Structure 1
Amino acid sequence: MSPPQERSSAAGLAETARQIRLSILDTIAAPRMGHIGGDLSVTDVLVTLFFGVMRYRPGEPDWADRDRFVLSKGHCSAALYSVLAQAGYFERSQLQSFMAPLSALNGHPNRRKIKGVEANTGPLGHGLPFAVGCAAGGRIAGAGYRTFVVLGDGELQEGSNWEAAMYAGHRGLDNLCAVVDRNRLQQGARTEDTNSLEPLADKWRAFGWDTVELDGHDHAALLRAFEAPRDGRPRVLIANTIKGKGVSFIEDRVEWHHKVPSPEQMLRAREELNRMELAQ
């Protein structure tokens, strides 16, 4: 199955995202470990890519013409695993083994253990350079695939990202699309209090990137940005998001970077997400 044959509408993507958020809650509940704030902020971006944009075949994970996806903010693996299970790369029941001893579902994605994972990520600042290499390799080979990479905003304090951005801009890698999950929070503090990133859009433009700022929870806007005609430059979407999106007591709270809800809080979170279904 390949998503271009069954692309979801914006409304369909919104419902899938709600289901993925519920899956994230279930996934982190058993081990009581994870990074729920970032998982929930990046959900809409991942859902739009996997169910509205990218070309891939779960039954043929090494298909040469597949689009490549790299989750540079690898600590948000519960969101990625929930999406990969929904896409058919493995059985959803496997999510119950998240972070268990010797489980394939590590706290950070491992391409040797999970189909659909293109790169081992976790150490921040590595995903964009890897994705640039994928895009450059595709250009050299004359391949038609695109490469997508999702970065955390705090991660942009790593200099390796800007070296990669400079190279991609210089080479005009328009088969590359980066997304910055701009939730403005990192472990322990706000990004602007830690090491200010602004003016972030101007920085990407200065490196030669087609730069789009948008609501990272608006599926229709994300679809338009991913599918807009390419102009000979790599593209970056600065996706303004809310850390913990969808759960009121987690939203925009720095302590929920890797805090895990109590059983009572899990029930409350599920109730809020179920009410979201009624409102759609």
Structure 2
Amino acid sequence: MAATGGSARSTVAHVLADALSAAADTVVFDLAPRLASPWPAWSGGPEAGGLAALPHDRPLTRARIRGAAAVRRAADGDWGVLTDGREWHAAPLSLPAPPAAWYQLAAAGGWQALVADTAHHVPHDVLLARCEGSPSLTRAWCDLPFSVPVLCAQATAEGVQTLQQAVMVLHAEGLPLHRSVVVLAATADGRPPAVVRAAATMLSARAAAVVHLPHDADIRAHGLQAQPARIRPRTRQAARQLATAVLAAARASFGDPLPDAPQPAPLPAVAVTAV
């Protein structure tokens, strides 16, 4: 999640899934509009059926769900990506908004860990819901079983200021900051600015953990294409720290080992008249 665009949210989702795949069968769900998302290019294009092959108003088999996911190769374990990899001129998909629908899809697909790359701006979503007197999308994501919110921001003065405002909004709404992980993504090499270090100290008292994602020139120049073999070792180390922090937050909040997650109820059997 992020308070604004350009917060390295998709990059964080990618490196988190890469590290989580060593511990669990992992999938990333891309919730952004196709032409605003890097995932179609990162996942290798339309080789897999993607989200277009999974109509949300029809029953789906596990084989069909998993077959629609693109496969990303990682050093310690592969993981899946569900995105819309069609050509740019295809009509936009009508995707379900409730997070429970995505949870159900991940459970039906048999994945153990779901990384949802959300597209909404968290403070605006929470404030709008308060004004309308309705539940926020952010709260719905946080209320999913064993969820760990990951809040992303650029490691700049403006980035941490926006993040701090988002944290105040989340705190005012009683959302689970205690099991949230903050990621500060560096925009250049070198030590973070003093204002970023001070913000990290403040946030560490409210969040479960604060992780610094270093600047990676290859990611900045080339993105995370199908073969991200040139990602720097320190970036991979930060990804492992992030995955460790996410799992630790989940275990501290829900138990160690984590109990079995609830499974969506199966569809009732349909009686067929013999002919």
TM-score by length of 2: 0.39
- Richer in helix (by share): 1
Larger Rg computed on CA atoms: 2
